[in-house]
A and B are shown apart, each in its own frame.
Chain A
Amino acid sequence: MRKSTILIATVLAVQLLGAIALSQVLELEEAKLLQPRVPIKSDSGRVIGTTTVHVIRCRLFIATVADSGRITDSSNWKVLADGRAVAIEGVRWSEADSLTVRLIGPFEGYDRLTVSLLGGKPVLVDISEAAVGSRKWGFGKGTVIDLNLRRLAEQKALFAFDYDFNVSMVEHYLSAGGGDLWFRSLSLNVTSEGTIGSDDEVRNGSESSLGIAAHPYYFVGGLIYGAELFVSYQVETQMNAGEDELFDVINERLKFGVEGEIPYTNVPMYKLHTVTGYTRLAMPLTLSLQYLPQAGDGDTYNDLARFDIKARYELALSPYLILQAEWRYSRFLDVPPVLDQSVSYHSLTFAQDLDVVKSKLGFLALMLGRGEEIQGQHFVFYRISSGRRGPAFEDIEEQSFGFGTYF
């Protein structure tokens, strides 16, 4: 009788010590609320769709294989939502990270969540970073500034400075992710594109706008493509080289547009990269269409209502050598008799990545077929361009070479 009492007491003591030891070792490091996408399966186990669940992802300081059973026992966990206990529907270990555990349950819509393990100290759950699918606004994302300094290959010494500036002031991530469409965000963008030249012969001018854009992504043929729909308020300027008033505002108006990557057009490059073996983004053909209503008197190209179509395609001929083609077409509405109803512009640019100096020359890589990844931040380039394009719509026939960078 006494022996069994001692035995029971010993077992209880061991269990108690085990629980204390476990709670000390398994102290939570951090906890985060997430809304992951999970598959919906039929009775036969086939995936028939996806949905989202609410998960608290917990990271432990340390755990051993022996702890596994206790950690996956949901009764050892306690989640308090705004002070009230919430039932935990499941506990899952991460397969890849032995210190990460996911708690599944109805954790949505609370202001304050805490989680504790084995009666240990409660840890506040981070509910602010639900990422994609949240209502969170970001700031300063998607900033791209592209600068080119080029020397025109003419008799005279002409220089031009091109810039392309795009800043997303705020970005709002949307949760729509069903089917083949994945909405990335709505954003408020400031953009400006223009050329500042050393002479009037250089096509000078700028288009700057403030607008709202939606960015959906969609899947076709196993590849992902992006698009942008936007409405903006645009200010167009023309430059007066050498004069006191350097820029003239020639127009202010709304513009509406859509830009999209055309499915399958990158498949040939994708196949080529598969053969050559280097990893490189195979850009698809990008098409954009925008409409600008009439501004001012409607008697010059600058203020006529117009449709602009723009196409851009890029061939990565080696990891370091890029050929980029651009074509623009503007169709004007209610055109005075003295003006053409449409104008076009095209350019061809050979860009050589400057990282080539760290490895081998791009044209050699083209012949040899293999190379390392392009960094694609600093280029020297040679460009042939011809035609008219907004906002200045001056007739140009240019060859230029220069240095380009973006950050």
Chain B
Amino acid sequence: MARELNEENRKEAYCKVLACTAVGAAESNCDKLFPKLVKVVVPQSLHEDYPVKLLACANRICTDEPYGWSVDPQEPDLGDDTTFADLYESWFKKIVWQL
């Protein structure tokens, strides 16, 4: 069964998406990780490929069990000051939805 698309589940899925892109974020520590993401800027060194990887991982994680959500095919825009928390608010929350 698909999980309900609420804030808690969405944050959990986002942690898994970050883990999938191999950024050292442990999904089991998602509660601890989130306050930290607010101040962590996406490194410039990741900008080239990271939007593609994020979208690929979002497709992979969110459309599969246990979530079963739909994902718009939109890569995030990364600015010099974009934090991982910004990505959650401005990108991830908007592309994930329930059919």
Q: Which residues of A contact B (CB under 8 A)?
A: 34-39, 41, 45-47, 50, 53, 55, 57, 90, 92, 94-97, 100, 102, 104, 130-133, 142, 144, 177, 182, 184, 217, 219, 222-224, 226, 266, 269-270, 272-274, 276-284, 372-377, 406
Contact = CB atoms under 8 A, between A and B. Distances in A.
Interface string B33-44: 100110111011
- Chain B, interface residues (CB within 8 Å), range: 35 or more
Contacts of B26: 274
Interface in B48-99: 48-49, 52-53, 55-57, 59-60, 63-65, 68-75, 84, 93-99
Q: A90, A131, A274: which has the most chain B beta carbons within 10 Å?
A: A274
A372 B98 contact: no
A224 B24 contact: no
Ranked nearest first, the 8 interchain pairs of A and B with the lowest CB-CB distance are A273-B24, A96-B93, A376-B45, A38-B70, A274-B26, A182-B56, A45-B1, A132-B73
B35 to A, nearest CB: 11
A238 B99 CA distance: 60
Contacts of A55: 72
Given A37-B73, A46-B1, A47-B64, A375 B21 contact: no
Contacts of A278: 24, 40
Given A223-B22, A274-B26, A375 B68 contact: no
B23 A92 contact: no
B49 A36 contact: no
Contact of B43 (A90, A272, A282, A373): A373
A96 B94 CA distance: 6
Contacts of B98: 92, 95
B73 A224 contact: no
A47 B59 contact: no
Given A53-B70, A279-B84, A282-B23, 5 more contacts: A41-B68, A46-B1, A279-B36, A281-B46, A377-B44
Contacts of B69: 39
